Structure 1
Amino acid sequence: MTASQSDQHGEPVSMALLGQRTPALPVAWTDKDVMLYALSVGASQDDPFADLALTTENSRDTALAVLPSFLTVMRTGGRPAAVDRIRTDSLLHAEQHIEILAPIPPSGEGSAWVEVTAVLDKGTGALVTSTTTFQRPDGTVFARSSGTLFVRGAGGFGGPRGTSATPAMPERAPDARVVHRTRPDQALLYRLNGDRNPLHSDPAQARLQGFERPILHGLCTFGFACRGLVTGAAGGDPARLRAMGGRFVKPVFPGEALATEIWQDQPGEVRFRVVDASGAPVFDRGSARIAPA
């Protein structure tokens, strides 16, 4: 295969990806980054003064807090080179998970590295999971963020299939339901966190990829889910949300209303999903861990 053919078709998925990692690179964030992120996932849209703990750093008797899903936009230097060589038009963002091991301050610095932690052969495609580990300057790991890509047409390489044991949502009514409306320009605001993919901003590019207009970033939907969990399961305290994750199943168009539906499993554990106005899941089979008040 020539270099030009490799560029056109991308590298094949194989078990050689497993364990590939980047070096630990510096990571830093400021209170401006934290507040911009909160605004970009809808904080204060319904009531300008309802989310001051997420959107201001100088309100009286209100300390600035960090939405846990902010982890997904912290700059880390990218994925392992072997993952970036997979043909990009064959990739779908399938899952996202975060875990918070220690409080995230409103500003800080440290380092982070990305490692391929799972490669699964699903027959018609492959699942590749990359996990970002964040640590403080003293070496203490404070959080992890894992994203799983589905690579269309990349199956059949002989890797493990994995399990599909994630339980479906309960058939009973949810114990809590939190509704947020996205703005028509939500994707234009969210892209300022760093993801400038024109699929989310350019109508012509969206049509080329089969959409009637630009779609919302999947990780923006994830941020709305995080806000729903903070409100509906963590009593409004972002620090109590210690882990969350699930599957992307349907694109969202900016301007749509999203409802986070939450079921209490057992103390400290909930299941959730996000549905659109028609009731169709857009983020499904979610689970989250909530610390005691």
Structure 2
Amino acid sequence: MPIDVAQALGGAPRVEEISWSGRDVRLYHLGIGAGVPATDPAELRYTLESRLHVLPSFATVAGGGPPGVIGALSMPGVDVDLAAVLHAGQSLRLHRPVPTDGTATATSRLVAVHDKGKAALLVMRTEVTDGSGPLWTEEAEVYVRGEGGWAGERERGPSTHPEPPCGEPEVTVERAVRPDQALLYRLTGDDNPLHADPEFARAAGFEQPVLHGLCTYGMTLKAAVDTLLAGETDRVRGYRARFVGVVYPGETLRIRMWRGAGQARTVRVEVSTAERGETPVLAAGRIEYA
């Protein structure tokens, strides 16, 4: 079996030093569609160095190293075909606001390998700390088609299908995905050819290159921060979501948001594509804020 579970879970963690600057932050923001309109004060918070705020989802690419998916595939005990791999979900816990410039230590390890029947699900956790202590913890869930069936029910893992929000959303917004959005987002560090090479995308079963799940993830968080949190990026404490469908560059994201009732400081989000009959692409989204 290409995934040696014992080796994958028992291997030493990967420890690396990462660093980033305000320029990296601005590039990430452009990669998720910030800066439209270019002179809008609300957008200048993401694009102008003198006013720069850091959207917390930048943490998923900080340092420019291998993102969660590619990083998980490079761990000991994992030897699989990249064309069989999909990003299934992402979670992020902020211990402090992400600074505009920083140097930190990232410690990554595979913390779970689940047998999903027709596929394996890898869970890779990365903990990032700097001289002042913990900064953030993130987990990437990586779905590997054709690698299941080795353990059965005892290793299926927890269910990741919470009940959808009830009632009409408080806010619905649409965000256009540029035709070259995936090419721009790749500059943040994710060079998976699935997002740029038409032949590779067809071999993986897609009509054309698809948008990174983490790009949809970032665009969704930005929409919620801008509409429900008054653009105050530092209020975000946690964010998780599942990727349940692909987005093609040039499409439109329809983002629905439900704020938690009473004192619950949460926002539930669900995202679909407007052009393909409301095809779901991001589900079980949950943002926690202060």
Q: TM-score range by the shorter chain?
A: 0.7 to 0.9
How far the C-alpha of 1:68 sits from its partner, in A, is 0.7
How far does the alpha carbon of each residue in 1:6-32 deviate from its partner, in whole angstroms, 9 at most, with x for none? xxxx72352542354433211100000
Equivalent pair of 1:233/1:290 in contact (CA under 8 Å)? no
CA distance in 1, matches of 2:137, 2:98: 12
How far the C-alpha of 1:165 sits from its partner, in A, is 5.6
- Give 5+ residue unaligned stretches, structure 1: 1-9
Deviates further, 279-288 or 154-163? 154-163
Q: Do residues 281 (structure 1) and 280 (structure 2) align?
A: yes
Match of 1:52 in 2: 44
How far does the alpha carbon of each residue in 1:217-237 deviate from its partner, in whole angstroms, 9 at most, with x for none? 111111111112212332211
Matches within 5 A, 1:95-114: 95-114=89-108
* Match for residue 82 of structure 2 among 81, 84, 88: 88
How far does the alpha carbon of each residue in 1:120-171 deviate from its partner, in whole angstroms, 9 at most, with x for none? 2222222110011110034x11101211011222223325222226423224
Amino acid at match of 2:124: S
Equivalent pair of 1:262/1:273 in contact (CA under 8 Å)? yes
CA distance in 2, matches of 1:178, 1:90: 32
Counterpart secondary structure, 2:25: helix
Match of 2:134 in 1: 141
- Give 5+ residue unaligned stretches, structure 2: none
Matches within 5 A, 1:10-159: 11-18=2-9, 20-49=11-40, 50-58=42-50, 63-75=51-63, 76=65, 78-79=71-72, 81-82=75-76, 84-138=78-132, 140-158=133-151, 159=154
Match of 1:269 in 2: 266
CA distance in 2, matches of 1:210, 1:154: 17
CA distance in 2, matches of 1:167, 1:36: 34
Counterpart secondary structure, 1:213: coil
* Match for residue 181 of structure 2 among 182, 186, 192: 186
Equivalent pair of 2:8/2:77 in contact (CA under 8 Å)? yes
Deviates further, 40-49 or 268-277? 40-49
CA distance in 2, matches of 1:216, 1:16: 32
Equivalent pair of 1:36/1:193 in contact (CA under 8 Å)? yes
How far the C-alpha of 1:259 sits from its partner, in A, is 2.0
Change (3 A) 1:176 1:19: farther
After TM superposition, the score normalised by the length of structure 1 is 0.87
How far does the alpha carbon of each residue in 1:185-220 deviate from its partner, in whole angstroms, 9 at most, with x for none? 111111111112222222333233333322111111
Percent sequence identity over aligned pairs: 37
Equivalent pair of 2:7/2:76 in contact (CA under 8 Å)? no
CA distance in 2, matches of 1:256, 1:249: 16
CA distance in 2, matches of 1:222, 1:66: 15
